[in-house]
Amino acid sequence: MSVVGHAPPPFFKRGPAPLVRLAFFVTLSLVLLVADLRFHTLEWARLAVATAAWPLQRLTGMPIDAAGDFGAYLSRQTSLLRENEELRRRQLGTANLLLRQEHLEQENKRMRALLDMRTRQPVEGRIAEILYAARDPFSRRVVIDKGSQHGIAAGQAVVDDIGVIGQVTRVFPLTSEVLLLTDKDQAIPVAVQRNGLRAVLAGAGSGTMELRFLAANAEVQVGDILVTSGLDGVYLPGLPVARVARIDRDSSHSFARITCVPLAGVERHGLALVLGSRTELPPRPDEAPAMLDQPSRGKRVKQKIR
């Protein structure tokens, strides 16, 4: 009860009621969620905060790194010797191919010139180390130690010594985030190496991938190797991606359910190669003229080979 000229004592001033405050903050969080999920408008804020927190993040990673280094320090000399031997043997095995590669590339270029086809883009890359897996348990992401200061740009493909790992999705000044192939949001256009059948490979969670939208009688066998088809303009064609692990041909569905496992060490950590951006593909032809003059047979064959 307030008397005229006297405010109530400030002891019991506690601001708005808890339920009001809860409603305010929940609404604010939901607005942020929608803004980030639907419109991707908060990347600048993320960039600023992540850059400021980078030294702290490296600092907290140090104990884990130190533990890893200590484990490596304790590795036995015999195992190192064995690994050295193995690497030397592999190098000799590939020397044959490497020595002839220059020759083959020259020959390939001449052949392509004869066939009047676009020359293949030379592969260039930048070696990066996978620092750690992002803590977010709902997606599959890793953080690598190269960022925009090293010339990394969003959209570049990341491979290891066996095949494709994923794609750079966010770039910070000194680090960047790689979305792994097994993430549910990641899709990659592939071709079956054996017969050139094109399809889209999408992450299915829990370390596997799924070959989508292939008819139930599509010619795919267990054990087939899938390579990138290069149709998206992001991945270079011919990089190994996955192996077909299981095929469920259920006649009640129009599509076959094809489960694949990644070839590269997607869930392992180590060194990775960030491939340079591809040169732009030629612009897509407009829909209407394409309908009017159907390309001749020769043109279609060319497109397929490229």
Rule CB under 8 A: which residues touch other proteins?
14, 18, 21-22, 25-26, 28-33, 35-37, 42, 45-46, 49-50, 53, 56-57, 59-61, 63-64, 131-141, 143, 170, 177, 183-185, 205-206
Least distance from other proteins to the Cβ atom of residue 72, Å: 17
DSSP for the chain?
---TT-PPPGGG---S-HHHHHHHHHHHHHHHHHHHHHH---HHHHHHHHHHTHHHHHHHHHHHHHHHHHHHHTS-HHHHHHHHHHHHHHHHHHHHHHHHHHHHHHHHHHHHHHHT-PPPPPP-EEEEEEEEE-S-TTS-EEEES--GGGT--TT-EEE-SSSEEEEEEEE-SS-EEEEETTSTT-EEEEEETTT--EEEEEEEETTEEEEES-BTT----TTPEEEE--TTSSSPTT-EEEEEEEEE--TTSSB-EEEEEESS-TTS-SEEEEEPPPPPPPPPPPHHHHHHSPPPHHHHHHHHH-
User: Would you say 180 or 192 has its CB closer to other proteins?
Assistant: 180
Least distance from other proteins to the Cβ atom of residue 13, Å: 11
Least distance from other proteins to the Cβ atom of residue 130, Å: 11
User: Would you say 187 or 225 has its CB closer to other proteins?
Assistant: 187
Least distance from other proteins to the Cβ atom of residue 256, Å: 22
User: Would you say 76 or 135 has its CB closer to other proteins?
Assistant: 135
Amino acid at 278: R
User: Would you say 124 or 185 has its CB closer to other proteins?
Assistant: 185
User: Would you say 13 or 284 has its CB closer to other proteins?
Assistant: 13
User: Would you say 6 or 14 has its CB closer to other proteins?
Assistant: 14
Least distance from other proteins to the Cβ atom of residue 237, Å: 28
User: Would you say 132 or 255 has its CB closer to other proteins?
Assistant: 132
- CA 83-89-90 angle, to 5 degrees, is 90
Least distance from other proteins to the Cβ atom of residue 152, Å: 16
Least distance from other proteins to the Cβ atom of residue 232, Å: 21
